[in-house]
Amino acid sequence: MNIDPFLVWLESTSLSQWVVGSPSLLAFPGILTLHAIGMGFAVGISAVLDFRILGIAPGVPLSEIRRFLPILWLGFWVNAVSGVLLLIGYPTKALTNPVFYLKLTLIGVAMALLVRISRMAFDEPAAARADIDPARLRKMQRLAVVSLVCWAGAITAGRLLAYTYSRLTAAG
């Protein structure tokens, strides 16, 4: 399937040209900055939850970490929106690079794990809670390790996007 006509059209839109071409610090530089801050809170808090499940800070009641989840989700949505804006700015650069799909897949797996871990840690009745039942705790710990690996992979893939693209725009 040839998506070049779509890429040419997207790059001709005024939103795409604003993201890429505006001299304002709020355009491309500002969007990149929001993407870094959102990452810090989304990945950082997810990692804190994973660390707690793996036994760090045992005095922190696992169920209470849920209070930090709204900030994690805020970071995630900031990055979804800023990421879409960056994609609208440089659609060819991302969509023709396999590393971009690797990054999205790793984020998808990490977020699915977060939802799964959240359910196990926060939503089940106290008697079945994973921090009480050793078999369920071990299962949750395996998920936490995979979560950390996925985030590290997603960050690395994201950084490598700047070095691995083959076409910057549909024209060139």
Partner 1 sequence: MHDFQVWLVKTILEKSPVIDFMHTAWAWPIAESLHFLGLCLLIGAIGSFDLRLLGVGKRIPIAAMHRFIPWGLLGFAINISSGSMFLLTEPDQYIFNPSFHLKVIFIMIAGVNASMFYLTSYRRVFLSPATLEAPTRAKVIAAISLSAWLVVIVCGRLLTFFRPAQCEGEQTALLLTCVPW
Q: Following CA atoms 100, 153, 131, 120 in sequence, which dihedral angle do they give, to the nearest 10 degrees?
A: 10
Counting residues that bind partner 1 (by CB under 8 A) gives 36
47 binds partner 1 (CB under 8 A): yes
Shortest approach of partner 1 to residue 170 CB, angstroms? 24
Helix extents (H) in the chain = 4-12, 14-21, 28-53, 69-89, 91-95, 98-118, 134-164
Shortest approach of partner 1 to residue 135 CB, angstroms? 25
Stretch that binds partner 1, among 5-13, 93-101, 128-136, 152-160 (CB under 8 A): 152-160
Residue 61 token pair: 């009641």
Q: Using CB under 8 A, which of 3, 15, 60, 132 touches partner 1? A: 60
Q: Using CB under 8 A, which of 7, 19, 53, 65 touches partner 1? A: 65
CA atoms within 13 A on the CB side of 74: 8
Shortest approach of partner 1 to residue 120 CB, angstroms? 19
CB-CB contact of 65 with 121 (8 Å):
yes
Residue type, 75: G
CB-CB contact of 15 with 106 (8 Å):
no
Chain positions contacting partner 1, by CB under 8 A? 25, 29, 32-33, 36-37, 39-41, 43-48, 51, 56-61, 64-65, 67-68, 71, 151-152, 155-156, 158-160, 162-163
